[in-house]
């Protein structure tokens, strides 16, 4: 693996859409007891279920710390997944893993963004995060995939969604937040996205979902379902703090065109709930000074948009609420040729994200 001094754009590489053919999907095994309840045992079970669902469609590699290697290998033994030793500070490989880019010859490379734990010392979620910062490098090295790196530019994979045809969706709440790249303005950030994703058009939604602890990652709010079409989390309840966020996103989406000059068709999917954390769920999470504290009664940023597209399938969260079946039908209508597999998503949500945040697709070469 080489670290390259150029950019994907200069070299003819671009980030493909998530629906492009995939070689594998990466995950990381969760173990932080100050983020996951019950000593992380409940979420480890949920991870095994997620690995099982994904591995029906595409090979899965799971990074595990040395400490958890034996436990994870045992819990995953019945599955056809690869367990490799990668230490990380938590399991959010969407944000700590590489963003893969491809060219027209079928070569694959990876972008290793700078990572500051969703805000560093200005709202970041835990300290330290040095192992997280090494994840992308380790994955690329293991795969012998050449690496671009942006030591001067902080970005998380969950804060971008591309259509593979020149357009990226982001939120101002996250990318313009003073806790990411305070030395850069909107134009300078757009220039980085152009150089490293090889896109032409940035669609800036003002906000992500209410109470999203990543400062409004787009992957929990709005995503492309095909070029020119997006799925947007939606509420008609004017008393829901998401109401104005949805309205503002819609106003932007109705007024822009994408890189190919297309108007955007918007599919709405209901925000589940409202969902709140319970006392029982929070009481077994370790309380430590260096990690974001989790209190009961907190409005959770639950979203059906936080799903993963895999070869032939969609792996989406369900929350045991009445909107689950409506969400399934909407996903099926957006992806008529893919099997919709819904798995329980509450355990992931309690840790601050969901299926998309916990996975990273590696496109086929």
Query: Mind telling me the catalytic residues?
Result: 357
Degrees to nearest 5, angle at CA 195 with 93 and 358: 10
Stretch that binds ligand KQY, among 105-113, 210-218, 249-257, 307-315 (CB under 6 A): 210-218
Q: Which residue is nearest to ligand KQY (CB)?
A: 158
- 281 near ligand KQY (CB under 6 A): no
- 47 near ligand KQY (CB under 6 A): no
Q: For residue 207, what are the contacts with CB-CB under 8 A and spacing of at least 6? A: 171, 172, 173, 216, 221, 245, 248, 249
Residue 233 bridge partners (DSSP): 269
CB of 180 to ligand KQY, least distance (A): 14
- 217 near ligand KQY (CB under 6 A): yes
- 357 near ligand KQY (CB under 6 A): yes
What is residue 333's three-state secondary structure? Answer: helix
- 351 near ligand KQY (CB under 6 A): yes
- How far apart CA 348 and CA 339 sit, in angstroms, is 22
- 213 near ligand KQY (CB under 6 A): yes
- 220 near ligand KQY (CB under 6 A): yes
Q: Which of 81, 353, 361, 362 binds ligand KQY (CB under 6 A)?
A: 353
Question: Which segments of 144-185 does DSSP mark as H helices, in order?
Answer: 172-175
Task: Tell me how many residues contact ligand KQY (CB under 6 A).
Answer: 16
> Using CB under 6 A, which residues numbered 80 to 139 contact ligand KQY?
92, 94-95, 125
Q: Which is nearer to ligand KQY, 125 or 343 (CB)?
A: 125
Q: Which is nearer to ligand KQY, 7 or 160 (CB)?
A: 160
Task: Compose the 235-274 pattern: x for residues touching ligand KQY by CB under 6 A, - for all others.
Answer: ----------------------------------------
Dihedral of alpha carbons 19, 20, 24, 26, sign: negative
Please answer whether residues 109 and 171 qualify as being in contact, where contact means their C-beta atoms are separated by less than 8 angstroms.
no
- How far apart CA 304 and CA 65 sit, in angstroms, is 29
What are the tokens at 123?
Answer: 């709202």
Classify burial at 219, counting beta carbons within 10 Å of its beta carbon; exposed 0-12, middle 13-18, buried 19 or more.
Answer: buried
CB of 255 to ligand KQY, least distance (A): 26
What number of residues does the chain have? 365
CB of 189 to ligand KQY, least distance (A): 18
Q: Which of 92, 117, 96, 118 lies closest to 36 in space, CA to CA?
A: 92
Q: Which of 116, 171, 177, 214 binds ligand KQY (CB under 6 A)?
A: 214
- 352 near ligand KQY (CB under 6 A): yes
> Could you write out the DSSP letters of every residue in 180-205?
T-TT--HHHHHHHHHHHH--SEEEEE
Stretch that binds ligand KQY, among 12-20, 49-57, 272-280, 345-353 (CB under 6 A): 345-353
Q: Which is nearer to ligand KQY, 156 or 258 (CB)?
A: 156
Stretch that binds ligand KQY, among 129-137, 161-169, 245-253, 351-359 (CB under 6 A): 351-359
What is residue 226's three-state secondary structure? Answer: strand
> Using CB under 6 A, which residues numbered 135 to 174 contact ligand KQY?
156, 158
Classify burial at 175, counting beta carbons within 10 Å of its beta carbon; exposed 0-12, middle 13-18, buried 19 or more.
Answer: buried
List residues near ligand KQY by CB under 6 A.
35, 92, 94-95, 125, 156, 158, 213-214, 217, 219-220, 351-353, 357
């Amino acid at each position: 693996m080489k670290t390259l001094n150029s950019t994907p754009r200069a070299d003819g590489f671009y980030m493909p859409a998530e629906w492009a053919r995939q070689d594998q999907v990466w995950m990381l095994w969760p173990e932080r007891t100050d983020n996951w309840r019950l000593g992380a045992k409940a979420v480890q079970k949920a991870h095994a279920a997620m690995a099982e669902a994904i591995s029906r469609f595409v090979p899965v590699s799971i990074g595990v710390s040395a400490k958890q290697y034996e436990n994870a290998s045992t819990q995953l033994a019945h599955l056809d997944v690869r367990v490799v030793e990668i230490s990380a500070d938590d399991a959010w490989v969407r944000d700590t893993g590489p963003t893969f880019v491809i060219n027209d010859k079928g070569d694959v490379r990876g972008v290793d963004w700078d990572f500051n734990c969703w805000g560093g010392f200005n709202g970041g979620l835990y300290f330290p995060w040095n192992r997280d910062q090494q994840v992308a490098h380790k994955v690329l090295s293991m795969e012998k995939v050449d690496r671009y790196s942006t030591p001067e530019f902080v970005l998380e994979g969950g804060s971008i969604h591309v259509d593979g045809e020149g357009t990226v969706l982001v939120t101002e709440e996250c990318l313009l937040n003073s806790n990411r790249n305070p030395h850069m303005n909107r134009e300078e950030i757009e220039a980085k996205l152009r150089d490293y994703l090889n896109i032409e058009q940035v669609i800036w939604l003002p906000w992500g979902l209410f109470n999203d602890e990543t400062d409004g990652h787009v992957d929990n709010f709005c995503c492309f379902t095909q070029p020119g079409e997006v799925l947007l989390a939606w509420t008609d309840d004017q008393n829901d703090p998401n109401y104005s966020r949805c309205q503002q996103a819609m106003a932007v989406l109705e007024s822009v065109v994408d890189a190919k000059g297309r108007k955007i068709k918007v599919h709405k999917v209901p925000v589940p709930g409202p969902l709140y954390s319970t006392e029982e769920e929070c009481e077994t999470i370790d309380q430590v000074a260096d990690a974001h504290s989790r209190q009961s009664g907190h409005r959770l940023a639950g979203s059906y948009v936080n799903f993963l597209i895999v070869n032939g399938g969609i792996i989406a969260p369900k929350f045991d609420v009445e909107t689950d079946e409506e969400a399934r039908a909407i996903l099926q209508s957006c992806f008529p040729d893919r099997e919709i597999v819904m798995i329980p998503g509450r355990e992931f949500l309690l840790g601050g994200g969901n299926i998309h945040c916990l996975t990273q697709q590696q496109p086929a070469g």
